[in-house]
Amino acid sequence: MVGVGLIGTGFMGKCHAMAWNAVGTVFPEAGKVKLVHLGEANEEFARRRAAEFGFIRSSGDWRAVIEDPDVDVVSLTTPNQFHPEMAIAALEAGKHLWCEKPMAPAFADADAMVSSARQSGRVAILGYNYIQSPAVRHIGKLLDEDAIGDVNHLRIEMDEDFMADPEALFFWKHEAASGYGALDDFAVHPLSLISVLFGRVARVMCDMAKPYKDRVTDNGNSRPVETYDIASVLMRLENGVAATLQVNRSAWGRKGRIALQIFGSKGSILFDQERFNELQLYLTSDRPLEQGYRTVLIGPSHSPYGAFVPAPGHGLGFNDLKIVECRELLERIAGRPSRTIDFAEGLEIERTVHAMARSFDEGKWIEVR
Amino acid sequence: MVGVGLIGTGFMGKCHAMAWNAVGTVFPEAGKVKLVHLGEANEEFARRRAAEFGFIRSSGDWRAVIEDPDVDVVSLTTPNQFHPEMAIAALEAGKHLWCEKPMAPAFADADAMVSSARQSGRVAILGYNYIQSPAVRHIGKLLDEDAIGDVNHLRIEMDEDFMADPEALFFWKHEAASGYGALDDFAVHPLSLISVLFGRVARVMCDMAKPYKDRVTDNGNSRPVETYDIASVLMRLENGVAATLQVNRSAWGRKGRIALQIFGSKGSILFDQERFNELQLYLTSDRPLEQGYRTVLIGPSHSPYGAFVPAPGHGLGFNDLKIVECRELLERIAGRPSRTIDFAEGLEIERTVHAMARSFDEGKWIEVR
Amino acid sequence: MVGVGLIGTGFMGKCHAMAWNAVGTVFPEAGKVKLVHLGEANEEFARRRAAEFGFIRSSGDWRAVIEDPDVDVVSLTTPNQFHPEMAIAALEAGKHLWCEKPMAPAFADADAMVSSARQSGRVAILGYNYIQSPAVRHIGKLLDEDAIGDVNHLRIEMDEDFMADPEALFFWKHEAASGYGALDDFAVHPLSLISVLFGRVARVMCDMAKPYKDRVTDNGNSRPVETYDIASVLMRLENGVAATLQVNRSAWGRKGRIALQIFGSKGSILFDQERFNELQLYLTSDRPLEQGYRTVLIGPSHSPYGAFVPAPGHGLGFNDLKIVECRELLERIAGRPSRTIDFAEGLEIERTVHAMARSFDEGKWIEVR
Amino acid sequence: MVGVGLIGTGFMGKCHAMAWNAVGTVFPEAGKVKLVHLGEANEEFARRRAAEFGFIRSSGDWRAVIEDPDVDVVSLTTPNQFHPEMAIAALEAGKHLWCEKPMAPAFADADAMVSSARQSGRVAILGYNYIQSPAVRHIGKLLDEDAIGDVNHLRIEMDEDFMADPEALFFWKHEAASGYGALDDFAVHPLSLISVLFGRVARVMCDMAKPYKDRVTDNGNSRPVETYDIASVLMRLENGVAATLQVNRSAWGRKGRIALQIFGSKGSILFDQERFNELQLYLTSDRPLEQGYRTVLIGPSHSPYGAFVPAPGHGLGFNDLKIVECRELLERIAGRPSRTIDFAEGLEIERTVHAMARSFDEGKWIEVR
């Protein structure tokens, strides 16, 4: 029986709570969990959330969660500037950690988190949920099986439109203090997919752009935007593959697009997170007259879809990916093989992001390592 | 605090269990639930499932669940030939009921279930989950708002391929005792959508067909197939609209298709359950040069998507629909407005199915009532 | 060298003219043609069109075209009430005939045209262009090769929205004298596809509906609409397959949809004329994990695409289908095998349409023959 | 009456011939043309082609075409290494010129062609057909109307798979003498679209890659591939927009993809040449609840579709674009406004391609001018 603590109850906090509530029913073989202690900004709010989310105890101080002896693993879902302090404290208290990405605004802090995790000997993973989808897993399986031959070209795009409105007011994400822009917000997700499917990135050459130079502040003045909503990156992976990455958080019409195009010597694979219950596969082993992209709807034979629904084509949802992630965490805690991005691998993703930003500043290719 | 009993733990039983575990976290305002008592075919199995699904008690006899004074509502997910006895017993024991569809193989039994529900004064609803999806709800809203004008034509298809393999052995669904075939298996779902979107069906004219006349039995003999995997129905709704319904459970390539085409005087709407996180809308109020079907990805403004994910386009899954259904049940139990298909309305759906079968037998149009 | 006459220069007349101008370049092996004589309603108009379309001579009287000794084949593209007189005259004058569909408003007239064609011994074909597309031809090839096994179910829909506007004035297509409605306008096209792909229709049961009961006339009064824009038909083909046909000429959003769903024992095929450069194929011979509809883009290996473009995926257009049809006509005139629907087969299509209308009137299944 | 000469009768030569045969019928107002003189590699072949394509005269020497006094305009469709000599000779002979792209392998030769055209005072245009499609024209109209606001980001991809087979033998396109690779083959097409929709490219930063390092020659040896099938380019347009261009001629599954993503402050536009009869438009002026990409099928209101088909959604084909291009050429010859890419603008496109190659060589951003 694994005791669970949760710190933070926003979008991701609720998402973790749903996963913890569901994991035992969906994946009974992963072991039992007990929702022990929830921490929020104040006691009243914490108490309400604990009641909603089914936690036994609650506190207005996150340290109480970390110090609770019945808590074995902590879900850390606060804004990422709080991650370093809380994560390191939790690890030092001997807790396993399920921390939302990105790790920390500053690379040095992320690096310290990795050191702390290593010293603690505890499991410390990051919330990269998109790697958990049955379609992405099946893509990995196809690549492992050499279904499309040697991959020679890769394109990834991630686009949303939550910052696309030019009339929207200046807010903290427009300040340089929040990071580079779309690179921080988005690029880590495609990089997590690259990490599990292809390995690491060797070299990058990035361009960034601002769709809107200035924005109105809430007091009616205009203020220059300091972050970049658009980034485009030429890349070479460590395995030699030529790749590109494009991200845009001001792309009107895109809601949750993470689009992959993977080209190989015997076929190709397309995928879009906006329709993540399907993938497109082109195989040259098909009869030439009928070669074409197959729209494969995921089903029980695409693990772990079958744990959710025994019939194909019925569809998983975004939150279900978090339940899978939760299962993987439990597997890792139990010392079994798991599909997770731990702090060490997460640091490599963040290293890549910082290299991209540097290549833009310097106008030249940068070696990630 | 609503006490929950669950009878049956197959596909739908697990689906109910997931919903009961999640509903408090997703919809905190719907009230608290307590997973009290799980019933299965024997004690050992019941005990294991109760542990997995988070129920406090378990029994090898379903009557123990019904008689448990801490149980307020019973999820009934056994095969539908058991529904009449169990449902009526639960209602007589004063429990609310969440019963999987269809109600019962025989119309008279379904009718008796309605009477029992009426006499009991308890809430008794059926598990028609597809009516709960944000896209279907938004279609209803569009129709209510007259967005596409007067609807004049409707086409619905529901297709899967789980019986499409001609080599698959003869099994109970091929026996006449199991019902008509695709009409029982599938037609109730499209009819549930018609029920919430358009009202009742007035007249039907049905054709049915068998893709495979005979099948091999497990002892190697050939046996005639007695049920119809394909049905096509001409319909007139009570509101005068001309409609068609087509169902096929041997349709290779279709996994969970429920496709609607709704044509009105000012536009049209398309929907397919296989991509149920989007709908297609054509409006003549758009500038003529740019009229076209809009692919609308559901998001927080399409209730109740926002309770699951605050960002648009991230997608709900099949199981999430059951969580919504669970919320609606709690709302109804609490005496608040709800979107549910109760036994009385469910009986009308089954009446329509039986009328379809009769129209096929008699080769002529049949008035449903 | 085949001498060509053309009567009528509307939509279809221009389409024939384009085909006659192009056929020699696209299909040099089909033989040479000479554009000899164009007939229109008056001499001035005929002269102008002849100049535009590249015809040597022109006349304001269609009989002059038919009597021209240099004319070997006549393209007949006038409104279909004129077909019987003109077609029979042309055949009696010993000309081959390329007549637009449908043959004639009255079945008896169509029947007389068939007799005339038989007696003349000349080639007399109808302008069913959709049967000529490479995708439809490839579907035929797949069926012949047993790629999807025994076909057991077929659905065809044809929808456009040119009559969908409820504010549009009453015009001749709303009068009963114009025929039944969508059955005349549209049903012949899907039936032509059924004819080449599956053979004839045995039994039909049809429902028809009017989206708008009345329309305003150009003098501002309201007048009841006498024709049916919507028709839905249950069918059994002579080969035993259960099928449905649905047509709607008031279907907002549909522009040129002719959608086929063909289900067999080993796969299925989807096609939509709105994207007629592709087809969807599902095969159970694919590995189960990656079964899905393949979007096959037509290319040079799908005859006769290669005569137009040597590279795949570049797309043919609607008018190209007429060029193919023209080639088939030349092949037939030359006594070579061709893919054509001649008057005899066209009569069977019209017989089926009339049977559909009768089944609606009588509310029961009708045997076509 | 414009007299036409044609040199070369391969893929593009036939395409020109089809256009010259059709233009008078499709666009009668564009003026009359006369197919005068066809030149091919030898007299016998020329005679045969002239008969097929409907030309009056033929020659085995291209100079005879250029010197023919009845020829006003020459279609030049030979391999592009022959363009400079033939084009300059034709211009010096006072002929208008319709030359296939790219202009010439060497920039200096293209430059000389521009000078020659300027001195001649004749019309000299390049065969950039993709700019002629109704959808691309409508995109231009939408941009001009500010429908999607200020464009801030642009992505273009062009992919085919005709060189994707790793087993295919080494041939001339693998030699450095043929150019850079995909940049020459493909990049000029997307650049032509950028030219008509957005203007010129200011700066470029390119990466290129080889999917296969070596190929087998026809004598069975292995030989290093010298050209790049893959290119990815970061770009800044002269109007300040950040853009990317990606091309791949070894992209299994892609047949004729030219995909645009255009993001603006009020919406976005998507387009793919593989389905060039439709475009996708997202507008923030739509009600938020129903915002989504509209699939607009081109029709008569999207000029010049209506000259081909009077009904919407019926589809143009690849060759129809050449007919439109031919009309534009005739308009330009007649001194009327036209949508054409002339030698001067074509040179800018080729200058951009050469800048891309240089940026790859030097590993840094290059200013195009």
Task: Using the predicted structure, report yes or no on whether residue A313 has a pLDDT greater than 90.
Answer: yes
Q: pLDDT band at residue A194, thresholds of 50, 70 and 90?
A: very high
Task: Using the predicted structure, report yes or no on whether residue B180 has a pLDDT greater than 90.
Answer: yes
Residue where the block lists tokens 């091929």: B174
Do B162 and B111 lie in a common domain? no
Task: Using the predicted structure, report yes or no on whether residue C80 has a pLDDT greater than 90.
Answer: no
Identify whether A245 is part of a domain. Answer: yes
* Residue after which a domain boundary falls, among C75, C90, C122: C122
Which of A212, A230, A268 minimises the CB distance to D252? A268
Do C31 and C101 lie in a common domain? yes
Identify whether D102 is part of a domain. Answer: yes
Q: Which residues pair with A234 in a beta bridge?
A: A205, A244
Residue A364 makes CB contacts below 8 A (sequence gap 6+) with A205, D363, D364
Report the C-alpha gap between B206 and B200 in whole angstroms.
17
Identify whether B101 is part of a domain. Answer: yes
Residue-level pLDDT at B298: 98
Can you give the CATH number for the domain in which B230 is found? 3.30.360.10
Q: Give, to the nearest 10 degrees, the angle between helix A43-53 and helix A11-26.
A: 30
Residue-level pLDDT at B223: 97
Chain C interface, Cβ < 8 Å to B:
148-149, 152-153, 155, 157, 164-166, 205, 207, 209, 211-212, 230, 232, 234, 236, 242, 244, 246, 248, 250-254, 261, 263-268, 270, 282, 284, 291-293, 363-365
Do C14 and C111 lie in a common domain? yes
* Count of Cβ atoms closer than 10 Å to residue A120 Cβ: 18
Report the C-alpha gap between A241 and C255 in whole angstroms.
44
Read off the pLDDT of each residue in A68-74 and give the average, rounded to a whole number.
98
Identify whether B114 is part of a domain. Answer: yes
Structural domain count, chain C: 2
Residue-level pLDDT at D80: 87
Q: Which stretches does DSSP call E strand in chain A?
A: 2-7, 33-39, 57-59, 73-76, 96-99, 124-126, 151-159, 201-209, 214-216, 222-224, 230-237, 242-248, 257-264, 267-272, 278-283, 293-297, 341-342, 366-367
Do A144 and A75 lie in a common domain? no
Residue-level pLDDT at A190: 98
Residue-level pLDDT at A80: 87
Read off the pLDDT of each residue in C151-179 and give the average, rounded to a whole number.
96
List pLDDT tens digits, range A207-218: 999 999 999 999
Task: Using the predicted structure, report yes or no on whether residue A105 has a pLDDT greater than 90.
Answer: no
Both structure tokens of B15: 């689906």
Chain B interface, Cβ < 8 Å to C:
148-149, 152-153, 155, 157, 164-166, 205, 207, 209, 211-212, 230, 232, 234, 236, 242, 244, 246, 248, 250-254, 261, 263-268, 270, 282, 284, 291-293, 363-365
Identify whether A369 is part of a domain. Answer: no
Do C98 and C178 lie in a common domain? no
- For chain A, give the longest Cα–Cα distance: 67
Identify whether B369 is part of a domain. Answer: no
Is A296 within 8 Å of C296 when comparing Cβ atoms? no
Do A10 and A74 lie in a common domain? yes
Give the gap in angstroms from C-alpha B29 to the nearest C-alpha of chain C.
41
Residue-level pLDDT at C197: 98
- The CA-atom distances, in angstroms, between D19 and each of B304, D127, D211, D322, D329 are 55, 12, 37, 6, 11
List pLDDT tens digits, range C13-40: 999 999 999 999 999 999 999 999 999 9
> Is the whole model's pTM more than 0.90, yes or no?
yes
Read off the pLDDT of each residue in C92-112 and give the average, rounded to a whole number.
95
Can you give the CATH number for the domain in which D60 is found? 3.40.50.720
**Owning domain of residue A143:** 130-362
- The CA-atom distances, in angstroms, between C21 and each of B256, B268, C77, C323, D37 are 48, 40, 16, 9, 18
Q: Which residues of D touch B285 (CB under 8 A)?
A: none
List pLDDT tens digits, range C359-369: 999 999 999 99
Do B293 and B356 lie in a common domain? yes
Going by C-alpha positions, the residue among B157, D276, D319, D130 that lies closest to residue C275 is D276
3-class DSSP state of D197: helix
Residue-level pLDDT at A221: 95
Residue-level pLDDT at C105: 86
Q: Which residues of B touch D297 (CB under 8 A)?
A: 292
Q: Mean pLDDT of all residues in chain C?
A: 97
Going by C-alpha positions, the residue among D150, A322, A69 that lies closest to residue B320 is A322
Which of C15, C160, C297 minimises the CB distance to D274? C297
Q: Which residue of B has its CA nearest to C248?
A: B153
3-class DSSP state of A329: helix
3-class DSSP state of B170: coil
List pLDDT tens digits, range A235-282: 999 999 999 999 999 999 999 999 999 999 999 999 999 999 999 999
Helix segments in B126-246, DSSP class H: 134-144, 182, 188-197
Do C174 and C315 lie in a common domain? yes
Residue-level pLDDT at D189: 97
Identify whether D68 is part of a domain. Answer: yes
Report the C-alpha gap between D147 and D269 in whole angstroms.
10
- The CA-atom distances, in angstroms, between B101 and each of B139, B184, B185, B188, B191 are 23, 10, 9, 8, 12
The ipTM of this complex is: 0.96
Which of C11, C54, C256 minimises the CB distance to D25? C54
Do C177 and C67 lie in a common domain? no
Going by C-alpha positions, the residue among B168, B191, B193, B172 that lies closest to residue B181 is B172
- Contact status, residue B255 vs residue B161, Cβ threshold 8 Å: yes
Q: pLDDT band at residue B80, thresholds of 50, 70 and 90?
A: confident
Q: Which residues of A touch B304 (CB under 8 A)?
A: none
Q: What is the DSSP secondary structure assignment for residue A183, as one 8-state letter?
A: I
Q: Which residues of A touch C134 (CB under 8 A)?
A: none
Touching subunits of C (3+ CB pairs, under 8 Å) are A, B, D
Read off the pLDDT of each residue in C342-346 and give the average, rounded to a whole number.
97
- From the first residue on, what is the mean pLDDT of each consecutive set of 10 residues in chain D (369 residues)? 97 97 96 97 97 97 98 96 97 98 92 98 98 98 98 98 97 93 95 98 98 96 97 98 98 98 98 98 96 98 97 97 98 98 97 98 97
Q: Provide, rounded to the nearest whole percent, the portion of chain A with pLDDT above 90.
A: 98
Task: Using the predicted structure, report yes or no on whether residue A222 has a pLDDT greater than 90.
Answer: yes
Report the C-alpha gap between D206 and D359 in whole angstroms.
6
Give the gap in angstroms from C-alpha A286 to the nearest C-alpha of chain C.
8
- Contact status, residue B124 vs residue B97, Cβ threshold 8 Å: yes
Read off the pLDDT of each residue in C74-85 and give the average, rounded to a whole number.
95
Identify whether A368 is part of a domain. Answer: no
* Residue after which a domain boundary falls, among D122, D149, D178: D122
Give the gap in angstroms from C-alpha C244 to the nearest C-alpha of chain D.
23
Strands B278-283, B293-297: pairing is: antiparallel
* Residue after which a domain boundary falls, among C79, C97, C122: C122
Q: Which residues of A touch C292 (CB under 8 A)?
A: 278, 281, 294-297
Do A168 and A317 lie in a common domain? yes
- Contact status, residue C63 vs residue C31, Cβ threshold 8 Å: no
Residue-level pLDDT at C361: 97
Cβ pairs bridging B and C (under 8 Å): 120
Top residue of A12, A21, A133, A258 to mutate, by most chain B CBs within 10 Å, is A21
Q: Which residue of C has its CA nearest to A134?
A: C289
Do C48 and C153 lie in a common domain? no
Which of D54, D162, D313 minimises the CB distance to C274? D313
The CA-based angle A319-A325-A330, given to 5 degrees, is 130
- With DSSP H G I counted as helix, E B as strand and the rest as coil, what are the percentages for chain A, rounded to 5? 40, 25, 35
Do A141 and A58 lie in a common domain? no
